Amino acid sequence: MEILTSKQQRFIRRYEEWIDQVVDALMMVVQFYRDGHEEQGDRLLTETMAGFERFGEENITMHSVFGRSEKHLHEWDLFQQQINETLEVPSFSEPVEKVGHITKKTLPAFKRWRTIVEAILLES
């Protein structure tokens, strides 16, 4: 893989930190649901996931970093799909369904994606 430019490295480091913050927010969402504060959980989840719009397919820096490898591009696509699925969670009728989706699908996807992002930084 090609070495990232210093600008790309800074961008990806900030992105990696942001992923960590999102994981923390998702844990708070799960706790809101478990504590019976469904409305607050829905609101925090919606606001948190909406932040990923800026890192979507239109983001040139993301393309320049993850588009270098078919494997990374595929993983990015899978991650984007998971984000889109997670945006639907507030429409689920039961809090237990919401918790299940976040804990069994969303959080593992974030952890996997963060590992990939970290590996790209280590490769550069």
Q: Which long-range contacts (CB under 8 A, 24 or more apart) does 4-7 make?
A: 4/65, 4/120, 4/121, 4/124, 7/61
Query: What pLDDT, in 10s, does the model give residues 44-55?
Result: 999 999 988 888
| Alpha carbon distance 29, 72 (integer Å) | 28
| Alpha carbon distance 113, 16 (integer Å) | 9
Query: What pLDDT, in 10s, does the model give residues 49-105?
Result: 998 888 888 889 999 999 888 999 999 999 999 999 999 999 999 999 999 999 999
- Kindly list the distances between the CA atom of residue 108 and the CA atoms of 39, 85, 105, in Å, as whole numbers in the listed order: 24, 13, 6
Query: What pLDDT, in 10s, does the model give residues 5-42?
Result: 999 999 999 999 999 999 999 999 999 999 999 999 99
Cβ contact 120:12 at 8 Å: yes
Domain ranges of the chain: 6-123
Fold of 6-123: Four Helix Bundle (Hemerythrin (Met), subunit A) (1.20.120)
